[in-house]
């Protein structure tokens, strides 16, 4: 199986020994504490899960700036996005050397991790602008990732952490949330050595389904990891439990048994386009995957990125040899009325617009909200039924 990024073995920061963890939980109650941001809590979950191997905790400003500007920490480790614990006011933990981090996403703000404080640094406005511009390629505050990144404060608390739990992900998604080390173990048990990962924050329609099948066949992989984001999304995106149910139904009915492993990870979406695509590649390598499908507008939002910027960054900006994982470059896929199947659009030259089945996200939402069936060429009927039930529910109207 492929080695993790930056080390021979995976080093998750979750304290797995029950007695040691109980001891730390008790210690944490007596430490100075601070409620961290949702982004920092997601970083803690990813560090604890082994997805962010070989990082040992939150970056300092020098490392975050190095990562933003040239995708390398001060020590030279390749990394695509800053991993920070940024707060608005560090007064509650000022001068403390060891602190407890409280989870903003769980009632009562329980302690999610203990951090050894190496530094508390104020990030200047120029540094925030540089990181924003480099990571998101825009400073437009209408961009949801830019807005989130610039709303949490400007004091960075850096240092190693010990993770005590996985926030709400393990309790709300017990059948789906999995750590990188658990995924590695399961894939070894499956006998999978060559694995392609599919990243999703949306339900999977026919085109996504076929794209997984195309990559699986073209690469000759042993299996497919369908890996969904379980954290916070922008308003209007479909909740994780609905996505989970629809994806499981699709895999159950339309993929060979034991060819797909469906899991999820605990992280808030960045919507950082190319940079986030590289981050996806890093932590899929840590899962043990050998390939990642990178499609049209991967991890993008709106019109901030070109349709294939998330592919070209791997050729133009990622230093050669930085990753062992390889990407599978996918074009837009859609149902061809001529060929009566889903294909990559760049594979044919004799099609006009009328030869494809296209539905915008807005059109899909309107149809489902009105109880209208989606075309079978676009979505499996069993998947469409789950989505329709959601869109016609009170939850979708809130």
- Identify whether 365 is part of a domain: no
178 & 304 share domain:
yes
Catalytic residue, from 109, 186, 202, 248: name it.
202
Cβ-Cβ contacts under 8 Å for 353 (sequence gap 6 or more): none
pLDDT value for 398? 67
Whether 199 is in a domain gets the answer yes
Active site residue 202: yes
Of 167, 195, 217, the domain-final residue: 167
- Residue 113: strand, helix, or coil: strand
362 domain-assigned: no
Per-residue confidence (pLDDT) for residue 236, from 0 to 100: 76
Q: Residues 325, 199: one domain?
A: yes
Domain count along the chain: 2
> Which of 332, 349, 370 finishes a domain?
332
Which of 56, 314, 330 lies closest to 217 in space, CA to CA? 330
Closest C-alpha to 187, from 326, 14, 6, 10 = 10
Chosen domain end from 137, 167, 197: 167
**184 carries an active-site annotation:** no
- Residue 357 in domain: no
List the catalytic residue out of 21, 98, 186, 201. 201
CATH number at residue 253: 3.40.50.620
What are the beta bridge partners of residue 261? 225
Residues 83 and 194 in one domain: no
Q: State the pTM of this model.
A: 0.95
Query: In terms of residue numbers, what domain contains 206?
Result: 174-265+273-332
Residue 385 within a domain: no
Is the residue at 151 inside a domain?
Answer: yes
Q: Are 234 and 185 within one domain?
A: yes
Report DSSP state, residue 262.
E
The Cα–Cα gap between 287 and 183 comes to 6
CA distances from 134 to 34, 42, 149 (A): 29, 21, 12
Is residue 153 within 8 A of residue 162, CB to CB? The reply is no
Do 228 and 278 belong to one domain?
Answer: yes
Q: Say if residue 294 is in the same domain as residue 227.
A: yes
Whether residues 314 and 191 share a domain: the answer is yes
**Calpha distance 305→274 (Å, rounded):** 8
Q: Any idea what DSSP says for residue 214? A: H
Domain membership of residue 101 (yes or no) is: yes
- Identify the bridge partners of residue 57 per DSSP, sorted by sequence position: 160
Whether residue 196 sits in one domain with residue 146: no
Q: 19 pairs with which residues across the strands?
A: none
Angle, CA 129 vertex, CA 124 and CA 130 arms, to 5°: 100
pLDDT of residue 233: 79
| Local mean pLDDT, 10-residue blocks, the chain (398 residues) | 96 98 98 98 98 98 98 98 98 97 98 98 98 98 97 98 97 96 98 97 91 97 97 83 94 95 96 98 98 95 96 97 97 93 94 90 84 92 94 78
188 and 155 within one domain: no
CATH number of domain containing 151: 3.10.400.10
Residue 97 lies in a domain: yes
Residue 124 sits in the same domain as residue 236 = no
Same-domain status, 179 and 327: yes
Cα Rg of the chain (Å, integer):
21
Structure-derived torsion over alpha carbons of residues 129, 200, 302, 353, reported in degrees to the nearest 10: 150
What integer pLDDT is reported at residue 132 of this predicted model?
Answer: 98
| Separation CA 224–CA 216 (nearest Å) | 7
Both 143 and 247 in one domain: the answer is: no
């Amino acid at each position: 199986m492929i080695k993790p990024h930056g080390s021979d073995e995976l080093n998750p920061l979750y304290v797995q020994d029950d007695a040691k963890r109980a001891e730390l939980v008790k210690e944490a109650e007596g430490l100075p504490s601070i409620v961290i941001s949702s982004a920092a809590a997601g970083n803690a979950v990813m560090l604890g899960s082994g997805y962010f191997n070989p990082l040992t905790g939150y970056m300092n400003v020098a490392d975050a700036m190095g990562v933003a500007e040239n995708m390398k920490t001060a020590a030279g480790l390749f990394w695509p996005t800053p991993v920070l614990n940024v707060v608005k006011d560090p007064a509650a933990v000022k001068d403390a050397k060891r602190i407890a981090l409280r989870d903003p996403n769980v009632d009562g703000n329980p302690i999610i991790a203990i951090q050894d404080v190496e530094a508390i640094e104020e990030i200047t406005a120029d540094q925030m602008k540089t990181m924003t511009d480099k990571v998101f390629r825009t400073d437009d505050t209408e961009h949801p990732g830019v807005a989130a990144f610039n709303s949490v404060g400007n004091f960075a608390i850096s240092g190693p952490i010990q993770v005590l739990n996985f926030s709400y992900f393990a309790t709300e998604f017990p059948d789906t949330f999995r750590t990188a080390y658990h995924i590695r173990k399961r894939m070894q048990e499956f006998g999978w050595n060559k694995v392609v990962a599919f990243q999703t924050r949306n339900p999977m329609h026919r085109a996504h389904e076929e794209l997984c099948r195309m990559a699986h066949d073209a690469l000759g992989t042993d299996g497919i990891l369908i890996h969904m984001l379980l954290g916070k999304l922008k308003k209007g995106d479909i909740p994780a439990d609905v996505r989970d149910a629809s994806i499981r139904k699709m895999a159950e009915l339309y993929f060979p048994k034991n060819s797909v492993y469906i899991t999820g990870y605990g992280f808030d979406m960045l919507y950082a386009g190319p940079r986030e695509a590289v981050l996806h590649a890093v932590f899929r390598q840590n899962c043990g995957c050998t390939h990642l499908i990178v499609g049209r507008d991967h991890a993008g939002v709106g019109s901030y990125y070109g349709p294939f910027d998330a592919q070209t960054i791997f050729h133009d900006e990622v230093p050669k040899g930085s990753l062992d994982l390889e990407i599978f470059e996918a074009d837009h896929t859609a149902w061809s009325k001529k060929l009566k199947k889903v294909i990559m659009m760049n594979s044919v030259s004799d099609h006009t617009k009328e030869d494809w089945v296209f539905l915008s996200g807005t059109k899909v939402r309107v149809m489902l909200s009105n109880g209208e069936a989606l075309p079978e060429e676009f979505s499996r009927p069993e998947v469409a039924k789950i989505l329709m039930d959601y869109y016609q529910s009170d939850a979708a109207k809130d």
